[in-house]
Amino acid sequence: MTEYDGDHLDFRGGNFTGPFTAKAEFHEHGPAPTALDALPMRVGGFTGRDSELRVLLDVLAPSASGGPATVVVTAVSGLGGIGKTALAVEAAHQACERGWFPGGVLFIDLHGYDYNEESVSAEQALEALLRALGTASQHIPSRAEERAALYRSALAERARERGPMLILADNVGLSEQVRFLLPGGGVNHRLLVTSRERLPQHGARLLPLDELTPRAAFDLLDRALRLADPHDHRIRHETWAAEKLASLCKHLPLALQIAAARLALDRSKPVAELTAELTALRDPLALDDGERSVRAAFELSYRRLSPEQTRLLGLLALAPGPEVTTQVVNALIGAESPPVRTLEALARAHLVERGTQRGRWRLHDLVKAFGIDMVRRDPALAEEGEAARSRVLAFFCRWTEAADARLRWLDGMPQPELFADRAAALEWLDEQRAGLVAAVQWAQEERYAAAAVRLAELLAVYLDWRRHFDDLIVVSSAAQQAAEHAGEHRSEAAAWSNLGNALGGAGRAADAIEALTHARQRYQLAGDRHGEAIALSSLGAALRDEGRPADAIDALNSALALYQLTAGDRHREAIAWTTLGLALAQDGRAEAAINAHTRSQGLFRATGDRHREGIACNNLGSALMQAGRVREAIESYRRAVGIYQEFEDWYRTGRALENLARAHGAAGVPHQARDCWLRAARAFAEADAPDRAARALAEAEVPAPAPPAPPVPAESGWGYPHGPGPQLPGFPGVSALDRTSQRESSAEAAGDQYVQEQDRR
């Protein structure tokens, strides 16, 4: 048979018995179309991600390729609306402008989190990418594994012909979607992925995104408005309102863009007006511009959760404070051990973030608001949420009571449970402080009032010790309002007394006098003479700080008389004597002040209160200085320093050393004065009081001793409360905190007032 070349049919050798007709179809196969420059447009006004952009570009740069440690996959993850796609697209554009991907760019949206689109399967994604690479439909296999093999082959061929490519897979929902998109080995392609899930698989470089900084959020608003109209400078003309608007948006890019869109649609609307509208709504999730919605963005993540994850997220949203420890998580769910797998699943979805330390968890403000909203909409979860909050309060009360007992423990008292020493109690309170303060504010809800008020009272000693006076005012105010609502005079009196102590600690003596006057009146109405003595003692301290020593002396003498008429409370009597000594010194009666402080010192020693004995020593030293008895003052200050060091009370140690330094200066011993100033600086540094440390160092460097300063009466101080006293009706455990003790009745006083006089001079 002869063979013929060309486009024709050869019928030789055929057996034909009649006429026939032959038909033929000819197909001309041209190259399939490609889509290798498929990047979306850059986001207008992109800003605030400079450091993250540098990280992406460093990974994508050619200099990062070729070695055994080459990073092929980079996963940008974060909360819905955090700006993942905008960052990835910006990085891709900059990389292409630098000529790093001559082979082109593939882009695919996998619709992992969409309302109106089904999530793209691996098979669908591979088909789309193969088409983009120019593969004809009839050559695309049906199975995912075969498509992946062809995809890798096509990428390798592209690398040989044109160079490396960038594949950008946006909105990934599952790790499985990424596995099939990995390029083969031996090529320098890069795969850039965005997802709400952390994707630690595939050897990926992980880049989690957080909310913008306040400055970046401000800039985003400004750029977005000026993009719509270059002459729109409302953001810069209304700086305060713009910063407030950014804060209401919680610095989330999606929320900021929606707010900017609403302003751009109405050029006449002031920024302050939109800020006022959002403030009145009290619901940042309500932000929308007709097409985009913050609530909808979060619902996309929420609907993917399992029932167990939904429950935990809702309960975490109810937790007090910006972060929760594992202990609090256990209390929320009523379990002995933490739900580690569920927490990690929520963390991978960026609905829960790891906190400032290991074992701590936090929610973005908008996620917290969303979670609370979901709890309200679900009656069963709402009921469980109420029980969870009660469990948290019970847990806080038990542990805070144990910590408070440890802080107030004196020789001869039973050993408190849970905490082996003061350091352990303080460490736990420091870790939980924000949550404890937030939980007290639940007192406005009737079902939590008794426990929250009790918790406020238990926190008083600690908050004073750490000098967190603002927190002390917050918890005392919440307790006072709850007690007033209960309508019982004794509970209300105790709450007013505690609030007065807190106000005094913050230096608001006039407000403290008003609060303590309320306390005294309510104790009188309740017929509680011992409580009235406590209020009078505290009132005396407030009057002294207000510069009214004669009134203070009258109040304190009345308090001492009541203490002796009642049960003979020697401990509070000692505190009243200390404050009386300070008032007498302020009134110029130095010898009487010395007698009062000496009596106070003896009573503290007799009751076993070593720490307050140190306070009395320091105040006695100030009275002795005022009387010109310098050497005796030096010995008294030395005793105070030694006692404070026993308790590692570094702030009061520093102040007593300041007093000792001045006493040595007055005695004409400058080298000992300088040594005390240096020791004071070290103590203040240990107490995290850098300003005081700097001033002490400056005093140490003075070449010659300053002229002896006139002796100054000690300041009674605020915020050194007694711990829980007798329980009062209505709110178990509520007791008035002695005003004078709350004011550190004390040594601290002397040092601080002297320093203040030095500053004034």
What are the domain boundaries of the chain? 50-208, 214-296, 488-722+733-760
Query: Which pLDDT tens digit goes with each residue over 577-618?
Result: 999 999 999 999 999 999 999 999 999 998 888 989 999 999
Average pLDDT over residues 186-195: 85
Q: Which of 687, 628, 629, 602 is nearest to 653 (CA)?
A: 687
Q: Which pLDDT score is estimated for 735?
A: 39
Do the bridges between strand 205-208 and strand 73-77 make them parallel or antiparallel, or are there none, so unpaired?
parallel
What are the distances in angstroms from CA 302 to CA 19, 22, 297, 314? Answer: 74, 65, 9, 10
Contact status, residue 582 vs residue 747, Cβ threshold 8 Å: no
Q: For residue 697, what pLDDT band results from cuts at 50, 70 and 90?
A: very high
Residues forming a β-bridge with 192: 74, 168
C-alpha pair distances (Å), 402 with each of 396, 441, 534, 720: 10, 21, 24, 18
Please indicate whether residue 25 or residue 146 has the higher confidence score (pLDDT). Answer: 146
Please state the CATH superfamily assignment of the domain spanning residues 488-722+733-760 in this structure. Answer: Tetratricopeptide repeat domain (1.25.40.10)
User: Where is pLDDT greater, at 28 or 646?
Assistant: 646
CB crowding 455-470: b at 16 or more within 10 Å, else e: bbbbbbbbbbbbbbbe
The number of beta carbons lying within 10 Å of the beta carbon of residue 145 is 12
Given a contact cutoff of 8 angstroms between Cβ atoms, the answer to whether 519 and 503 are in contact is no
pLDDT band at 301 (very low <50, low <70, confident <90, very high): confident
- Is residue 760 predicted with pLDDT exceeding 70? no
**CB distance 362 to 353 below 8 Å:** yes
Position 657 pLDDT exceeds 90? yes
Residue type, position 683, single letter: A
Region 422-428: mean pLDDT is 93
Of residues 504 and 439, which shows the higher confidence score?
A: 439
Q: Which residue has the higher pLDDT, 730 or 580?
A: 580
Residue pLDDT, tens place only, 242-275: 999 999 999 999 999 999 998 998 999 999 999 9
pTM for this model (two decimals): 0.71
Least-confidence region, from 23-32, 131-140, 327-336, 343-352: 23-32
Position 2 scores a pLDDT of 45
Mean pLDDT on 702-707: 54
Instruction: Determine if residue 251 is left, alpha or beta; phi over 0 gives left, psi from -120 to 50 gives alpha, anything else beta.
Output: left
Which tokens in the block code for residue 487? 């309508």
Q: What's the start-to-end Cα distance of the chain, in Å?
A: 123
Higher pLDDT residue, 589 or 17? 589
Percentage of the chain with pLDDT > 70? 85
Cα–Cα distance for residue pair 487/482, rounded to 1 Å: 9
Average of per-residue pLDDT values in the chain: 84
Instruction: Give the separation between CA 305 and CA 349, rounded to whole angstroms.
Output: 9
pLDDT above 70: residue 8? no
What are the angstrom distances between the C-alpha of 405 and each of 392, 460, 744? Answer: 20, 12, 18
Residue 753 has pLDDT above 50, yes or no: no
pLDDT exceeds cutoff 60 at 546: yes
* Residue of higher predicted confidence among 111 and 702: 111
Q: What pLDDT, on the 0 to 100 scale, is given for residue 521?
A: 92
**Contact criterion met (CB below 8 Å) for 617 and 600:** no
Is there a contact between 262 and 297 (Cβ–Cβ < 8 Å)? no
Fold (CATH) for 50-208: Rossmann fold (3.40.50)
Q: What is the pLDDT of residue 14?
A: 65
Q: Is the dihedral of CA 612, 617, 621, 623 positive or negative?
A: positive
- Distance, in Å, from the CA atom of 406 to the CA atom of 206, rounded to the nearest integer, reads 45
Write down the pLDDT at residue 34.
65
Quote the pLDDT of residue 722.
36
pLDDT(522) > 50: yes
Q: What is the DSSP letter of 138?
A: G
Q: What is the pLDDT of residue 733?
A: 39
Can you tell me the distance from the alpha carbon of 581 to that of 592, in angstroms, rounded to the nearest whole number?
7
- C-beta neighbour count of 356 within 10 angstroms: 9
Please report the pLDDT score of residue 292 as a whole number: 82
pLDDT of residue 725 exceeding 60: no
pLDDT digits (tens, 9 = 90+) for 69-97: 467 888 999 888 899 999 999 999 999 99
